[in-house]
Amino acid sequence: MRFAGKEAIVTKSRFLGGALSVAALLLVAAGAAAWTPLPVVDDPLVRMPGTQPGQGTMIMDPQMCLNCHGDENILNPEGYVMAPGYFWQGSVMAQAARDPLFYACMAVAGQDSIWAVGNPNAVDICERCHFPQGWLAGRSDPPNASLMTGTDFDGVHCDACHMKWDPFFATTFDGTREGSDWAGYWDEAGNTGPGSGTPSQVAAEATLAEDALLAAGIKLFSGLDFFIGDAPKYATYTEDGAGQYFMAMMHRPRASFADTKSDHPAFYSRHHKSKYFCSTCHNVSNPVLANACEDLNATYGLSLSCLPDQSGGTDLITEQYSASRYFHVERTFAEFEISAYGQQGGAATNPEFHTKFDPPITWASSCQDCHMRNIVGKGCEELAAPLRPIESTEHPNSGAPMHDMMGGNVWLPYVLASTDDHFPDTYDPINFALLTQGPLALTLDMYAGLSPTDRGDRLLAASDRAKDQLKLAATIKNVTYNPTTGNLAFRVQNNTGHKLISGFPEGRRMFVNIKAYAGGSLIHEVNPYDYAAGTLKGLSHPSSPPLGPNETYVDALVYEVHPKSQLTGEDETFHFVLASERYKDNRIPPKGFDIVAAAEQLIEPVDHGVSSPAYFTAAEYAGGYDDVSGPFVPGADSIVITLYYQSTSREYIEFLRDEINGTADTLSRPTPLKPGGDPGAYIIQTDPFFGALKAWGDTIWELWFHNHGLDGLGASVPTIVPFQMTQAQFPASPLTTIHLLYPPDLAVLNALTSPPTFVWSADGGANVKYAIDFSLSAAFTNYVSSYETLGVQLPNISVTIPQAIWDSVPTGTPIYWRVRGADTGVTPITPVFSTETWSFVRP
């Protein structure tokens, strides 16, 4: 049976007109000196659509998958590991339930939830994404992760993704949701749609039938059907964000290929290569405030922005609207969705983004294009499995998805890797002691599941991949400076498909540091960072040192989100669960950002608590950059501009420490919810519910303090310590060297289905133009060139060969290539040749 068990259907009486109404919950919270547990399944405030805990979904141990999909012996033709499970093991997805910040934040969220609504159930929002296996199995209640066990600690593992089905299956299938270019966009060879009889179409039809059966088991909190026909009941529900899983019951994994060769049955899933797939965990919102909004306003005189109830009181707000419509926590997917890359067909990536990937990512239309990029390889050990894309006739343009899944989080995999004593260069006994206190002290069990203490190599590789992502994420360009007036101008270019920076506002920030020199001496600095204190100077926070006489803090050049809370009365808060708006959001938009569509998803810029769509110009939204200009300091002979990223700040870590240890006052002082104050608000250290979480106050502080190097023991972990993303200077250093990057030397380009992109790097130069030369001779006795032959000066460090020219390239013989460059702003113009001359063969 697919939907057996009483948990599969909840009754209407749990929500409407009974003792558990939203208003009643709020009154209990306001008047109770102690809190009373409420089963999460009975709580309307945290309920969201999708498969519910205990409904029958069986998530398999990831080790079962790794037996075939995680072998280090699964190599690509060049001899590199390509096993999806190998990369996944090091990723932040695999470590979602081992993230120290998560545990500290979860403890604070539980305390905040009790303070606001009388129970800790808001923590369920955290557990559903960080412990998907445990959450689906019903181990998230009590909501303190105390029942999590075994492979629950492997975070977002294989089945959490590969058992997921598309709640918009009907419109994906008929092409109205994401296009019907079956042979092109979906890479289904020869498919012209329903009735074509191709393997992909036949497999898609089987998946459609299965999804329709699964949809029949999804219920509203009232017990009525969530789906009407083959679509969600409400047209305003357009995405399954905020951890709203729609999960299959029987174990038949889903993946993005119709020609898989494996020992187990599988469903072909267009959803798994859809741009919408990642929205489930990367559009995060607060359902408690959404469902309690009107009652909070009425009870406490707040002015929260509530969505209108379309149901006449029968259904929850969270069941009527997409999560991106209410109470912003993070919006990485929404930022992508309304960018140029998120439009149907996608967009070309910036040339600066091409330099680290093999092959380069020149076009993006989904999150997976960058975070699960195509590589040449197999997904499993099965001998009959095709080497993609070379041996696949059904999906000839799709490589094997590299399960990279890294963004900018360098420090988490690095710190976890430092607990593995098999790698003495990175092993850290202090980190080991802090993180292995055991589940009775921390809830975290470092030895459960696939323990990091034995996977340092995978974690260190993931940390390095995150560094590469950060280095590609931004470029500083177009630097001009007038020494007489002191006017300085430059551009910070966002090379990503989302805001720069993106993700949770957990103290993470990106900031521009500017240093002016005269005669070799520093004469002025903007946004100085005090490495001895571990924070920026000039902040209002008591830990921030004061600015020196030749130092300036410029808030506009610190790119970040500061939430705001009407509940606590704070303009700027770190209380995620209690955040009702944003006070500051000046992060740089991605290319093609649709500012008109941004407000509905709560992702427009915000300045001092005010929605500010004009914060960036139309050109900046279109190009995805921030143009900075204004008076600086005159008289400098050189300027150095550096962009740094910090995953979490001292200010946030101190907040977590103090809230957990009960030495803060943001909840105990008079607030809009508790006008007389609440001296009993801080309960983590005394309430048994938090018994295995209360040590996180000191632990998170000591972990951050040590890995920033503030204890003097030499640790300096990137992104705990600010990490340099990019740098530019004025005057620019002369062009000195050019290095070829891709295709690699002696490459046989038999895996290409389109003309290749040639990529190189350059050191120095400000106004460099390039030429790429091709020859049948290594001596370039005769050659064709983009400059002499075509009359084109290349402005970027990559070029895709036009199809007509590529078609004329001889096959079966070595073709040699080199790059020349010259700084056109320097006279006399002096060409610089690439250090290397490489060759390739077109079979």
Lay out the sheet containing 757-763: strands in order across: 737-742, 757-763, 798-800
Distances (CA, A) of 237 to 48, 233, 241, 304: 11, 8, 10, 21
- DSSP code, position 250: S
- DSSP code, position 262: -
| Helix (H) or strand (E) run with residue 371 in it | helix 368-371
Whether the full predicted model's pTM is greater than 0.95, yes or no, is no
Query: pLDDT by residue (tens digit) across 50-65?
Result: 999 988 888 889 999 9
- How many Å from the N-terminal Cα to the C-terminal Cα in the chain? 54
Nearest alpha-carbon partner for 145 in 163, 125, 160:
125
- pLDDT, average across residues 191-195: 92
Better-predicted residue by pLDDT, 435 or 802 = 435
Query: pLDDT by residue (tens digit) across 315-336?
Result: 999 999 999 999 999 999 999 9
Residue 31 has pLDDT above 60, yes or no: no
Nearest alpha-carbon partner for 122 in 144, 138, 153, 100:
144
- pLDDT, average across residues 216-238: 96
CA distance 158 to 89: 10
- pLDDT, average across residues 234-247: 95
pLDDT at residue number 7: 29
Distances (CA, A) of 775 to 772, 784, 835: 10, 7, 16
CA distance 469 to 451: 25
Query: pLDDT by residue (tens digit) across 625-675?
Result: 999 999 999 999 999 999 999 999 999 999 999 999 999 999 999 999 999
- pLDDT, average across residues 341-357: 89
CA distance 214 to 218: 7
CA distance 423 to 596: 51
What is the CB neighbour count within 10 angstroms for residue 210?
16
Confidence of residue 506 (pLDDT cuts 50, 70, 90): confident
- pLDDT, average across residues 806-815: 87
Better-predicted residue by pLDDT, 19 or 388 = 388
- pLDDT, average across residues 737-748: 90
What does residue 281 show for φ and ψ, rounded to 5 degrees? Answer: -110, 0
Mean pLDDT, the chain, as a whole number? 92
- The lowest-confidence range among 101-105, 287-291, 351-355, 396-400 is 351-355
Residue 18 has pLDDT above 60, yes or no: no
Tokens representing 94 are 């695999």
pLDDT at residue number 80: 64
pLDDT at residue number 24: 55
Tokens representing 691 are 């018994």
Tokens representing 304 are 């929260």
**3-state DSSP percent of the chain in helix, strand and coil, to 5:** 30, 20, 55
Residue 81 has pLDDT above 80, yes or no: no
CA 482 to chain centre: 39
Confidence of residue 15 (pLDDT cuts 50, 70, 90): very low
β partners of residue 536: 529
- pLDDT, average across residues 751-755: 69
Q: Assess contact for 751 and 390: CB atoms under 8 A.
A: yes
Confidence of residue 14 (pLDDT cuts 50, 70, 90): very low
β partners of residue 800: 757
Query: pLDDT by residue (tens digit) across 256-278?
Result: 999 998 888 899 999 999 999 99
CA distance 767 to 334: 35
Tokens representing 307 are 């969505």
695 HSE (CA, 13 A, CB side): 16
- The lowest-confidence range among 353-357, 721-725, 783-787 is 353-357
Residue 209 has pLDDT above 80, yes or no: yes
CA distance 405 to 99: 15
DSSP string across 279-330: HHHHSEE-HHHHHHHHHHHHHH-----PPPPSSSSSS-HHHHS-GGGSSEEE
- pLDDT, average across residues 726-746: 91
Domain 732-841 sits in CATH 2.60.40.10: yes
Nearest alpha-carbon partner for 210 in 161, 154, 170, 256:
170
CA distance 740 to 737: 10
